[in-house]
Amino acid sequence: MPSPQELKEKLIAKAHELGFVLAGITTPDPTESYPRFESWISAGYHAGMDWMASEHSLERRNDPQKIMPACQSILMLGIPCLPSRPENSGIAAYALGDDYHDILPRRLEALSRWLNEITGEEISSRWYTDTGPLLERDLARRAGLGWIGKNSMLISPDGGGSYFLLAEILLGIALPPDTPFAADHCGSCTRCLDACPTGCILPGRTLDANRCISYLTIENKGGIPLELRPLIGEWQFGCDVCQQVCPWNRFSFSKVDPAFAPREGVPPENLAAEFSLTPQAFNRKFKGSPVKRARRRGYLRNTAVVLGNGRGEDGIEGLSIALIDTEPLVRSHAAWALGQIGGKQAVQLLRRALEVEAEAEVVGEIISALERNGG
């Protein structure tokens, strides 16, 4: 069996071979950022993500060995998810291709199997990619992968910026840990804070999910607050603004994994046509895509808001379909969007909808939209 140092070097080389351009080892000690995370939860900045606040989850996030008592080392990994700094497509860069929740676990499992083969032992392991109760950005910093920027993203100085996905394997074997990344290369720059459309970035390198466009368009399953809808802009799923303006993303990885290459139809060429997607058609179109996480009603809710913000009359036909959708969430946001666009045709559609609408929330949205247009 190789020495711990040799085994670590071979393991990291194998991780690179599997596409993980960033790799480092840290210990399973409790994370230094946990008190800040606990305060973040107490302040309600986790919004509707209640699973983060459960006692069981908090206990495990504070100590990785509560997840896997046999854990002696943690292999932290990063994989790029786009070839270059993207323009605003309305879909977050990581979601343009296939879902990393499907892709990365297979590679993590392969890496664990390889480790068993090379050591000739059955080494216990557990792997996650944004699915386990771990403060993975802090663990990645501790493994030497980068620093946590003012926008709360992990930023790599090795030519990757922040456009990469994190994954980790908890290992039942002791490997030499890497030196934690101590430098802060954000300096006096405040571009991410200045550019955030909703002002969700907070001091202390964290954010208020209640105002974050990524939360509002993905994890949020209800209505988008009225005052925040205009600030969503063109973002149909997620948001990259704080990354787009970050100077470190001028040096993003030049090669992207083929699995994350943009899928056909993402983003859609014709937003208004998306309202014709039946539940079955939505599932077919976004099978294996992160976009499916928003579910059909969330995706069409977001689409309505984007069309309302664009205020183009070419969106009215699609919104007329949304106004009779089976989902009240879609109908209510379509009414708001038509109120934003305004004009005779939009007002006629809203009046017609008011005559047949039974849901109180949707009725309220229709009345508000009509009042904004003197109708």
Kindly list the catalytic residues: 130
Look-up of token digits 């006629």: 348
For 322, the token pair is 């949304």
* Total length of the chain: 375
The CB-side HSE value for 186 (13 A sphere, CA atoms) comes to: 24
How far CA 212 is from CA of 190, 199, 216, 246, 264, in Å, comes to 17, 8, 6, 17, 27
How far is Cα 77 from Cα 367, in angstroms, rounded to an integer?
51
Of the candidates 128, 129, 152, 130, the one whose C-alpha atom is nearest the C-alpha of residue 141 is: 152
